[in-house]
Amino acid sequence: MSQVLADLRYAKSHEWARSLPDGRIEVGITDHAQHALGDLVFVDVPQVGTALEVGGACAVVESVKAASDVYSPVAGTVVEVNDALSGSPELINEDCYGKGWLYRVQPASSSGLDALLDANAYSAVLAAEGG
Amino acid sequence: MNQILEKSIFEYSRSGRSAQVQQPPGADVASAVEKIPAALRRSKAPMLPEVSELDAVRHFTRLSQLNFSIDTNFYPLGSCTMKYNPKACNQYAMLPEFLARHPLAPDSQGQGFLSCMFELQEMLKEVTGMKAVSLNPMAGAHGEFAGVAMIRAYHRARGDLARNEIIVPEAAHGTNPATATMCGCIVKEIPVDAQGDVDLDALAKAVGPNTAGIMLTNPSTLGVFERKIEQVAKLVHGAGGLLYYDGANLNAILGKVRPGDMGFDVIHMNLHKTFSTPHGGGGPGAGAVGVSARLEPFLPVPIVGREGDQYRWLSEVDRPQSIGRLSAFMGNAGVLLRAYIYMRMLGREGMSRVGEYATLNANYVMARLRQAGFDLAYPERRASHEFIVTMKRQAKELNVTAMDIAKRLLDYGFHAPTTYFPLLVPECLLIEPTETESRETLDAFVVAMATILGEAEADANTLKTAPHTMPVRRLDDVRAAKQLDLTWKPVNSAA
């Protein structure tokens, strides 16, 4: 069973979002997603300053099996990206909710995360997918 | 694992060793070099291997023996249509009159070749139901590019400049979104329903004044025939868009159903799949395109035309709206000849038997594998020329993945099916037996699959560490992707 953290919000397309104390939001892909993809070999993160819409393709994660788009769970402007991923994409496999974060955004509105799934709802999505 | 299978040919090299007999008689290399202006000559000799003829023959023969090929083993690689390539196609395409023809020779001296290409165009028109065909594109993706470029040229010629969106169902061939992007279009992906058909509600919402067209593979990469194709055509045409047919899976319907009759405006055909020219070792391919009447002016040139009993190249002069040229001359001439000969050998009747037996073989293997305990991704649907097994259950219960099964199959003398494609089916194997396999071969494959499933239940480690009998063992995919190291350098090289 994939790990789902209680204090994060989730998108059906298997991204997570975390509210940081300074109001910014950190985004990554879930344990289920990294497991389904397998060993990652390449990650393409958005550039700082990119304006993202909810559900818009914002990053690419490539494993030995497949290349997949990552869809932004929140609207906002990218303020920081995880540069470590370019040399070590395996950080996502090893620690998807920690060192494997993708980017941080300044959200476009303060209610950004409310529309996302909580841990229970996301777990239900995974159960329905048979994951 | 550092097993040396065959050394690089440079490692056989010894200074001054050569095959004298292969040099042109009386060649005076030194004086030939003198005639090249000094500024254009290289200052350092290139690194070329110096070996005897026998060294060269042995090296390349040994390399070829490491290959897995359709001439030695069953090759059910889904979506790739690895059917047998009849030797006669090769033999006749190698006639000296074809081989020695210079591409710049006047039309009057190549009437035989031109007539073959003209007939190939005509036969492809007939079998696909399209109005016109160009043989230019040199691979499937090249054909796709030509097709979408024509769709864009058509809209532009009408002053309909806003149409830059290409709709791609998620069951489409993986190259389709890439093609649309290469042509400067925006890709809109739409879902398929639980039965694998296009979601018509999503399509209705996706079409509009910006729709350039839709790219469809039918049968789709899910191995099932798109049953709603007529409604799809109506919706897209009604919105002013055009329909693109990806010919990746044409083998399933060959001689039975024609894309032109389904309402498609443009199609590319993988001659190296459906029409049996050699591929899998790098091709080369051939991705002929066919179009409906409204796209005919935009076809890539040159095209072979007939006037009376004479054939000639049609160029930009004849087709001023053409999207242009895609290759120096006209596609891969040798490949086109092989496809032409294949079609002539099959004839009209043989053509429909291709579709029949490709479908029969796929459905037979599908039924047998289901009996053997494998799960089908679309158990309710009849297979087209290929079908999908999903190992999702085994991955969970036995910790055995689709890749483990694929690798273990190699030990049993079968090429692995396509793995992890299409992306929307987890742990999948896409299996395409093609029409050229005997029932005995298909049965042997099913027995191997059943045996492997038994091994998975008894001792999954046998699968995890497979293959055990191949020249190379399980490769490190991750390291291979991360540490690209594709050039060989001599040990004492400074670089």
DSSP letter for each residue of B86-143: -HHHHHHHT-HHHHT--TTS-GGG-HHHHHHHHHHHHHHHHHHT-SEEE---SSHHHH
Is the pLDDT at A98 greater than 70, yes or no? yes
Is the pLDDT at A107 greater than 80, yes or no? yes
State residue B494's pLDDT score.
Answer: 46
* Annotation: CATH topology of A9-128: OB fold (Dihydrolipoamide Acetyltransferase, E2P) (2.40.50)
- Cα distance from B403 to chain A (closest Cα, Å)? 10
State how many domains chain B has. 2
Query: Bigger pLDDT: B235 or B171?
Result: B235
Domain interval for residue B39: 16-65
Is the pLDDT at B493 greater than 60, yes or no? no
Q: Is residue B53 part of a domain?
A: yes
Q: Is residue B482 part of a domain?
A: no
- Cα distance from A95 to chain B (closest Cα, Å)? 17
Query: Bigger pLDDT: B18 or B60?
Result: B60
Mean pLDDT of A104-131: 86
Mean pLDDT of B177-203: 94
Return the residue in A12, A35, A41 with the most chain B beta carbons within 10 A, the one to mutate for interface testing: A41
Contact at CB, A41 and B481, closer than 8 angstroms = yes
Distance CA B409, CA B451 (A): 10
Eight-state DSSP code of residue B192: B
Do residues B217 and B322 both lie within one domain?
Answer: yes
Strand partners, A18: A26
B-chain CB neighbours of A90 within 8 Å are: 478
Do residues B54 and B109 both lie within one domain?
Answer: no
Q: Is residue B357 part of a domain?
A: no
Do residues B25 and B147 both lie within one domain?
Answer: no
Least confident of A27-36, B233-242, B350-359, B483-492: B483-492
Interface membership of B68 toward A (CB under 8 Å): no
Q: Assign residue B235 the CATH number of its domain.
A: 3.40.640.10
Do residues B289 and B340 both lie within one domain?
Answer: yes
Q: Is residue B390 part of a domain?
A: no
State residue B74's pLDDT score.
Answer: 97
Average model confidence (pLDDT) across chain B:
93
Q: Which of A36, A39, A68 sits opposite B478 (nearest CB)?
A: A39
Do residues B98 and B141 both lie within one domain?
Answer: yes
- Cα distance from A21 to chain B (closest Cα, Å)? 36
A-chain CB neighbours of B423 within 8 Å are: 66, 68
State residue B483's pLDDT score.
Answer: 82
Domain boundary among B346, B371, B401: B346
The fraction of chain B above a pLDDT of 90, given in percent, is 80
Is the pLDDT at A32 greater than 90, yes or no? yes
Contact at CB, B482 and A36, closer than 8 angstroms = no
- Cα distance from A55 to chain B (closest Cα, Å)? 13
Do residues B237 and B139 both lie within one domain?
Answer: yes
State residue B62's pLDDT score.
Answer: 92
- Cα distance from B478 to chain A (closest Cα, Å)? 6
Residue closest to B435 by CA, chosen among B366, B365, B356: B356
Contact at CB, A64 and B426, closer than 8 angstroms = no
- Closest residue of chain A to B403, computed from CA coordinates: A65
Q: Is residue B476 part of a domain?
A: no
- B240 — alpha (psi -120 to 50), left (phi > 0) or beta? left
B-chain CB neighbours of A92 within 8 Å are: none
Burial B159-175 (b: 16+ CB within 10 A, else e): eeeebebbbbbbbbbbb
Least confident of B5-19, B283-297, B298-312, B429-443: B5-19
- pLDDT band at residue B4 using 50, 70 and 90 as cut-offs: low
Residue closest to B274 by CA, chosen among B246, B237, B234: B246
Mean pLDDT of B251-269: 95
Please give the backbone phi and psi of residue A67, each rounded to the nearest 5 degrees, phi first: -105, 135
Other beta carbons less than 10 A from residue B100's beta carbon: 8
Tokens 């033999």 locate to: B91
State residue A110's pLDDT score.
Answer: 64
Do residues B330 and B234 both lie within one domain?
Answer: yes
A&B contacts, CB < 8 Å: 18
Do residues B300 and B230 both lie within one domain?
Answer: yes
Predicted structure pTM score:
0.89
Do residues B116 and B173 both lie within one domain?
Answer: yes
B-chain CB neighbours of A64 within 8 Å are: 477-478, 481
Other beta carbons less than 10 A from residue B265's beta carbon: 27
Q: Which of A36, A39, A42 sits opposite B426 (nearest CB)?
A: A36
- Cα distance from A58 to chain B (closest Cα, Å)? 15
- pLDDT band at residue A109 using 50, 70 and 90 as cut-offs: confident
Domain boundary among B346, B364, B393: B346
Residues with Cβ within 8 Å of A12's Cβ and at least 6 positions away in sequence, in order, are: A117, A122, A125
Contact at CB, B481 and A42, closer than 8 angstroms = yes
Distance CA A92, CA A97 (A): 8
Do residues B340 and B216 both lie within one domain?
Answer: yes
Q: Is residue B205 part of a domain?
A: yes
Do residues B39 and B153 both lie within one domain?
Answer: no
State residue A114's pLDDT score.
Answer: 85
Do residues B168 and B135 both lie within one domain?
Answer: yes
